[in-house]
């Protein structure tokens, strides 16, 4: 450990090095397979096509620790790659897959308890199974919480069926990290990586709007919930949401009586915005106490090294920097820094 | 006129007081009708449902001038309500409707040349007809430019068929105002006015991304183009676009070799962001020279009185304020302030 503030990266993705043939396991196509076509590299295959080429840092804890040591990252929060959510699949298949992924992450965390924290996946298409796996992940596997998608088969996070899962997470003190996936309006985004550049931030803004307008945050004030990519488009459109709430309460304030800005400070955002002006804006909106370093490691749309943007902002006070680099993540995760210090 | 900077509102909508029965005129359903159900009020009807209730300030030039005088607005730029675009209709019907709307706006401008400037609608589903109507609108009707949607039947603004229209606008010196309409992913936004609060800003960000990544701005450096609602989500995701361009040029830089931030300053934005932090961010991004007062008058999601946000920002220098309140609009429109001064 370095003699500085603890650096905790709340947004990193990991896969098992070897995945079973899931299409065969479940008798159904559409699951990701891994093809290790040369040493240290693999292709994530989806329906016969290469979805993404990955390297050993996508699966190897040792390689990740090397890169963390190189980059000064003390702790990585591990979650699956969102394409693995499989909310579209039969619930028992997604449940089986979630258990497989969660067991894998839990094993890595057990092997390296000072370097990794884990978030579970849940079969959200079946809230009962999701709650069962949430309880197992937190109570038996010792994971700190869950990563969920911005929607479940088109149903946003205000969906009544999802509420019991979020409510149980709040009861258990499990952190909920919301990550965009299965981006909306793909037919409108055929080129230029637009589903990732425009679709993902829209998903996240839609998720924040849904938990606010749907009254989820109002009903679950204890829920610790964080949104990836600094909330996506949210900072640009909060003013529009707020104004819309005021001028058309008949349309907007139908399920919750309080305006969106009232909830600033009640949810967390990661720092992955690639823009010091936007990070400054987020600090003004939710304070450094609600912003946690997130890098999307090890993927190219992420930030490398993790924390580079926070480090680059010379006008931040040391305690502001420390809070965003690690303190906020620990609070979000419900963990104490002592857990990661040399004994 | 007041003894201050000219106040030009680049973003206002108007309809004729009386619309013919368009469904009957074109033998096809889906066009807007107006029902004047009580004095000074009307319902915009669409397929038998009330799309929006409007008041006399949606059609009466006299009423608008009264409200402008009350609010200190010198000039309104008139454009139709985007639901009138009718890009979905048969081209000859949309062409007929565009001529009807454009003739109406031109008449108001002729009657009140110091208070109104007009933007035309175009039947963009047929680029040849669109160019014909663009030429007529600018050369015969004296309109300052056009208002176009963020897409034409799902095709974004980088679509090759649209390029000749934009190219002709650049040649003619016609201003192009881009307004969100027919919002994407309606099935994901069933409540809380989300198509307006999240969908519209996404449409606009997608439009900006399309003209940048598609090389439209690169090929048409003389085009004067503006985007509504301060560019929508764009300011929050520019950093992500820029980073994506750098790390995956194979996906993003396929039609244009220059990164997005290179085009800051080459397009205009209106000021309708309902948030001083975002307006300040836009000023930092594109300077006051590219931000023009826009209010969305007379609709409730707009700003009333027009310019309230700019007026509220005490840290702006008087010349910055004046530029955004009127100077930028005049430059965008290709007009001189003398046209609006008392003779």
Mean pLDDT value across residues A151-172: 98
User: Domain B8-20+57-336 falls in which CATH fold?
Assistant: TIM Barrel (3.20.20)
Q: Do B278 and A191 touch (CB under 8 A)?
A: no
Query: With helix as H, strand as E and coil as C, how does B22-46 read?
Result: HHHHHCCCCCEEEEEEECCEEEEEE
pLDDT (tens digit, 9 = 90+) per residue, B310-342? 999 999 999 999 999 999 999 999 999 998 987
pLDDT (tens digit, 9 = 90+) per residue, B293-303? 999 999 999 99
CB atoms < 10 A from the CB of B265, how many?
A: 12
Q: How far apart are CA A288 and CA A282, in angstroms?
A: 8
Structure pTM? 0.97
pLDDT class for B47, splitting at 50, 70, 90? confident
Question: How do strand A268-270 and strand A291-292 relate by DSSP bridges?
Answer: parallel
Q: How far apart are CA A337 and CA A331, in angstroms?
A: 9
Instruction: Go through B12-40 and write b for each residue having 16 or more CB atoms within 10 A of its CB, e for each that does not.
Output: bbbbbeebeebbeebeeeebbbbeeeeee
Question: How do strand B151-152 and strand B155-156 relate by DSSP bridges?
Answer: antiparallel
With an 8 Å Cβ cutoff, is B229 touching chain A? yes
Mean pLDDT value across residues A113-119: 98
Mean pLDDT value across residues A116-134: 98
Q: Do A273 and B154 touch (CB under 8 A)?
A: no
Among the listed residues B233, B315, B10, the one whose alpha carbon sits nearest the alpha carbon of residue A240 = B233
Q: Is the dihedral of CA A198, A201, A166, A131 positive or negative?
A: positive
Res B1: pLDDT = 38
With an 8 Å Cβ cutoff, is B195 touching chain A? no
Distance from CA of B18 to the nearest CA of A (A): 27
Average pLDDT, chain A: 96
Res A220: pLDDT = 98
Res B5: pLDDT = 84
Would you say A8 and A270 are in contact if contact means Cβ atoms under 8 Å apart? no
With an 8 Å Cβ cutoff, is B300 touching chain A? yes
pLDDT (tens digit, 9 = 90+) per residue, B110-145? 999 999 999 999 999 999 999 999 999 999 999 999
Residue of B nearest to A278 (CA): B236
Res A3: pLDDT = 47
Q: Do A240 and B201 touch (CB under 8 A)?
A: yes
Res B343: pLDDT = 56
Burial class (CB in 10 A: 0-12, 13-18, 19+), A52: middle
List CB contacts (< 8 A) between B234 and chain A.
236
Least confident of A51-55, A72-76, B216-220, B327-331: A51-55
With an 8 Å Cβ cutoff, is B247 touching chain A? yes
Query: With helix as H, strand as E and coil as C, how does A190-242 read?
Result: CCCCHHHHHHHHHHHHHHHHHHHHCCHHHHCCCCCEEECHHHCCHHHHHHHHH
CA distances A240 to A260, B34, B272, Å, are 10, 28, 9
With an 8 Å Cβ cutoff, is A308 touching chain B? no
Q: How far apart are CA B162 and CA B174, in angstroms?
A: 15
């Amino acid at each position: 450990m370095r003699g500085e503030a603890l650096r905790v990266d709340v947004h990193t993705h990991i896969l098992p090095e070897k995945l079973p043939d899931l299409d065969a396991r479940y008798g159904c196509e559409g699951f990701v397979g891994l093809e290790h076509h040369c040493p240290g590299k693999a292709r994530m295959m989806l329906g016969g096509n290469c979805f993404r080429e990955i390297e050993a840092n996508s699966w190897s804890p040792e390689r990740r620790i090397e890169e963390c040591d190189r980059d000064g990252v003390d702790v990585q929060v591990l979650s699956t790659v969102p394409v693995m959510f499989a909310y579209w699949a039969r619930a028992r298949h997604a449940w089986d897959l979630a258990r497989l992924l969660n067991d894998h992450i839990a094993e890595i965390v057990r092997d390296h308890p000072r370097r990794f924290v884990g978030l579970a996946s849940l079969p959200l298409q079946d809230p009962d199974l999701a709650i069962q796996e949430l309880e197992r992940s937190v109570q038996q596997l010792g994971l700190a919480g869950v990563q969920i998608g911005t929607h479940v088969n088109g149903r946003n996070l205000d969906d009544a069926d999802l509420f019991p899962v979020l409510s149980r997470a709040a009861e258990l003190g499990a952190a909920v990290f919301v990550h965009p996936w299965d981006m909306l309006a793909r037919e409108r985004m055929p080129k230029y990586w637009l589903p990732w550049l425009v679709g993902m931030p829209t998903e996240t803004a839609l998720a924040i709007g849904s938990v606010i307008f749907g009254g989820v945050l109002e009903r679950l004030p204890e829920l610790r919930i964080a949104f990836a990519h600094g909330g996506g488009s949210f900072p640009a459109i909060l003013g529009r949401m707020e104004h819309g709430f005021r001028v058309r309460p008949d349309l907007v304030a139908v399920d919750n009586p309080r305006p969106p800005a009232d909830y600033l400070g009640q949810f967390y955002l990661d720092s992955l915005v690639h823009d010091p002006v936007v990070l400054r804006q987020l600090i003004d909106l939710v304070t450094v106490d609600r912003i946690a370093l997130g890098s999307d490691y090890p993927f190219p749309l992420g930030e490398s090294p993790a924390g580079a943007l926070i480090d680059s902002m010379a006008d931040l006070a040391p305690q502001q920097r420390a809070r965003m680099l690690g303190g906020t993540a620990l609070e979000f995760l419900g963990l104490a820094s002592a857990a990661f210090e040399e004994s």
